Structure 1
């Protein structure tokens, strides 16, 4: 939900400098720490191990870097060094890298609105919400965000090449296809989620390289319900709904569509209420209306594991709830939706179509426009409508990075990693303000992939009753997720007409002795990783005898 504000400011966008490319790969080295912090010890240790000091050294802390002698591996050199009593530790040298920062100027260009605090950038919400840290984990190229809204201007430079699919379910907002937006709301929302990054133009979307599925809707129950189903069937990771009613729980059709998305593990995100108008002022309310109150029903916000999606309220740059934004037990968490200070930018900067548009009922055009390098296709808007797509985009990054997570795990990781001054849930911001970097780091460490293994018989005794078996296996999860590694292999034996029973366990897969009765037996292995994931029992035995 949205609140336009008036602003007449043109910006001069600063261009980011691209990092140098084509540099030679650094040498592989070992970092050695000595037991004694003496400058003469390093030379002696290197001579005894037959390695060459190479690179920085800091005798004050006993540090020296070395390279192996020609023709040998790092592991061979490390073994000799570790055998020296003068050596405290030996490690392969790691190498860090510069934090990724897209070249979109709004990330660094100063915000020039009147009475803006010094150091405020045009995309002021990116850094405090942890987006650069999230982009270091994943750039989101495989993520797909569905935006059910008023369409989106597909010709806008921030959306060009980002719309992977579009569906028109609108009979009210305009006669154009889904890639047009006579209203403006949908274009702004879509850009906050997935505006094109690294194009040296204005903003970068929260989901960086994510793709968009634009569903133009007239916001009727049937249109929204159909839009949800279309989004699920077309592969959306998360669905944004920056709209809602004042009360009620929606139609049975809408609730069934939400059930359909939940069953397919798609994250649903809805904007909380932007309040009700009382004597000309917007007053916050505890009833968020549907679909928000269907995703986070009354009384469930404080329950970490309860909810069918995320109901999002708006926070200010100061970390407080926006004065008009919804609160209470139907709130899951918050994201930035208003600057909130007396002065400063009039909301979040995003893409906006050129056509005359209406953001609220009536015939008044949007008075929220601004220019970026002379381009008037931008606007400042504030509201829970602007907060929701930031959450949706990050949810899509989580789902794309670690598709093995259950829906509840995806929702929980977003809530558990949110930032707030105190721990736990509170009515104003729910579980806190979204921290994208923390959410992605947590999802990266959640190994939910089952390991795999295979057993082989490598030797039989002369009588055939004693067997030696070995097991090989692996624990590989989705790219970018840290696998916990195989903890053990359970070895099972099945006799004719009997259920399989575990007969041995090995932690390394090394040779294990098992017996085979005269009537024959079948054998298979089941791997278990350190996260507790257990391999599914194979449909066929790995090996048989007799």
Structure 2
């Protein structure tokens, strides 16, 4: 099948543009008949490893844990006395999450790439994402007491076994499967740092993904956070969308991003610098909701027990950057909010994060949405009222599905226990949250 790349983490040999730009877009209406059936996580077809796992990631150094990181601007120590994310399970649907001493609450969630349990990360990307959310120790993620549910859904190191020349595995269909699995396993927050990005809605069939997102949010009450996408480099979005502030404009979209364009169902995150300025690579769009730091990233070494702050490049290491790493910041914030106020629905949590963000001068902005997340404002103040959520659609839970209680029990008890090397530095933002395109590259 022809492959549609997910920006940021490139699947080898995958074309990004297959059709001319469109003047107006709209995601397909959610059709519950496309919801994937419940099944144990497994690749839909036989796969084979095509290249060695990535391990040549430069470590940040012995003093990285006490030095600066992209999370400093959030002033997290100020909010941790109120909430550290206890009782929450954040699913990381990515390249897997490797076991690490600073991820004491890692839960194996399954593997759609090979025969593992979700704790193999041959690409390194998912472990970086997970560390930003739930690392605990000398380096803390945003929600250090939350459990992390690792699900491997894509990899640049694998390919279909019956297609020897094909490199890269994972598409919007496997992403749909993984979203449903994460919801059924009890995830309260689901992080998707992947973007299928292309220039034509006609070339994208992601109806199964739309149905899975609706199921996760409206049936299983999970907050879904996704990256906005990167633009300006190989394997990334083809062109930048208009960046005029004021109000979302779906008529001028040139690069479509999924799952971000399901704006009613996901919280889409753009990237900013440590100073709060929009990152040069972050993809704008009418679906962007908020922004978070996504440059000069420090997180967990996927091939060791320390930290990393750079990726291997042709000559020198490259600082880690991308909207892939801004999304888990907001997933962590969602876990903090849900832990502090468990009575809030998924949609109410997303709305609160939007409402408390630092507003851009011109109002809503297609690059940073409602603004940079303000963690202190999101988790402080009086308890929000649990008002009826009249935007939720009642959908019956299929009788053959039972949520696995283990993740929540493990998270509550504090037991602890995954595509490509994390993104090349990206030169790579909602009216209201409004890929079976093929291969996925990671944002």
Query: Structure 2: how far apart are the matches of 1:317 and 1:140?
Result: 24
Query: Structure 1: how far apart are the matches of 2:339 and 2:109?
Result: 20
> Do 1:169 and 1:223's aligned partners in 2 also have CA atoms closer than 8 Å?
yes
Alignment match, 1:11? 61
- In the TM superposition, 1:13-52 aligns within 5 A as 13=63
SS in structure 2 at match of 1:429:
coil
CA RMSD of aligned residues (A): 3.2
Query: Structure 2: how far apart are the matches of 1:368 and 1:279?
Result: 16
Alignment match, 2:78? 133
Matched, 1:194 2:143: no
Which blocks of at least 5 consecutive residues in structure 2 are unaligned?
Answer: 1-6, 11-55, 155-169, 242-252, 305-309, 389-443
Alignment match, 2:270? 313
> Do 2:225 and 2:331's aligned partners in 1 also have CA atoms closer than 8 Å?
yes
Q: Which of 77, 102, 110 is matched with 1:158 structurally?
A: 102
Q: Which of 275, 291, 296 is matched with 2:259 structurally?
A: 291
- Quick one: structure 1 residues 368 and 395, their matched pair in 2 at CA, closer, same or farther if it must change by over 3 Å? farther
Alignment match, 1:349? 298
Deviation, structure 1 residue 209: 0.9
Alignment match, 2:152? 216
SS in structure 2 at match of 1:265:
coil
Q: Which of 284, 307, 316 is matched with 1:327 structurally?
A: 284
**1:451-510 superposed Cα distances (whole Å, 9 cap, x missing partner):** xxxxxxxxxxxxxxxxxxxxxxxxxxxxxxxxxxxxxxxxxxxxxxxxxxxxxxxxxxxx
TM-score normalised per structure 1: 0.50
TM-score normalised per structure 2: 0.61
> Do 1:282 and 1:324's aligned partners in 2 also have CA atoms closer than 8 Å?
no
Q: Which of 445, 453, 473 is matched with 2:383 structurally?
A: 445
> Do 2:268 and 2:290's aligned partners in 1 also have CA atoms closer than 8 Å?
yes
- In the TM superposition, 1:421-436 aligns within 5 A as 421-422=360-361, 424-436=363-375
Alignment match, 2:224? 268
Larger displacement relative to structure 2 (277-286 or 383-392): 277-286
Deviation, structure 1 residue 427: 2.0
Alignment match, 1:184? 124
Query: Structure 2: how far apart are the matches of 1:241 and 1:279?
Result: 17
Deviation, structure 1 residue 250: 4.2
Query: Structure 2: how far apart are the matches of 1:330 and 1:367?
Result: 32
Q: Which of 192, 214, 218 is matched with 1:259 structurally?
A: 214
Alignment match, 2:353? 414
> Do 2:71 and 2:293's aligned partners in 1 also have CA atoms closer than 8 Å?
no
Query: Structure 2: how far apart are the matches of 1:433 and 1:407?
Result: 20
Query: Structure 2: how far apart are the matches of 1:310 and 1:281?
Result: 19
Deviation, structure 1 residue 284: 3.6
SS in structure 2 at match of 1:382:
coil
More strand by share: 1
Q: Which of 323, 339, 342 is matched with 1:400 structurally?
A: 339
> Do 2:85 and 2:336's aligned partners in 1 also have CA atoms closer than 8 Å?
yes
Deviation, structure 1 residue 276: 4.2
> Do 1:334 and 1:429's aligned partners in 2 also have CA atoms closer than 8 Å?
yes
> Do 1:3 and 1:383's aligned partners in 2 also have CA atoms closer than 8 Å?
no
Q: Which of 160, 168, 182 is matched with 1:231 structurally?
A: 182
- Quick one: structure 1 residues 440 and 368, their matched pair in 2 at CA, closer, same or farther if it must change by over 3 Å? farther
Alignment match, 1:63? none
Deviation, structure 1 residue 424: 3.0
Alignment match, 1:495? none
> Do 1:352 and 1:379's aligned partners in 2 also have CA atoms closer than 8 Å?
no
Alignment match, 1:390? 329
Deviation, structure 1 residue 449: 8.7
Larger displacement relative to structure 2 (319-328 or 249-258): 249-258
State the number of aligned residues.
298
Deviation, structure 1 residue 256: 0.9
State the structure with more CA Rg: 1
- Quick one: structure 1 residues 132 and 226, their matched pair in 2 at CA, closer, same or farther if it must change by over 3 Å? same
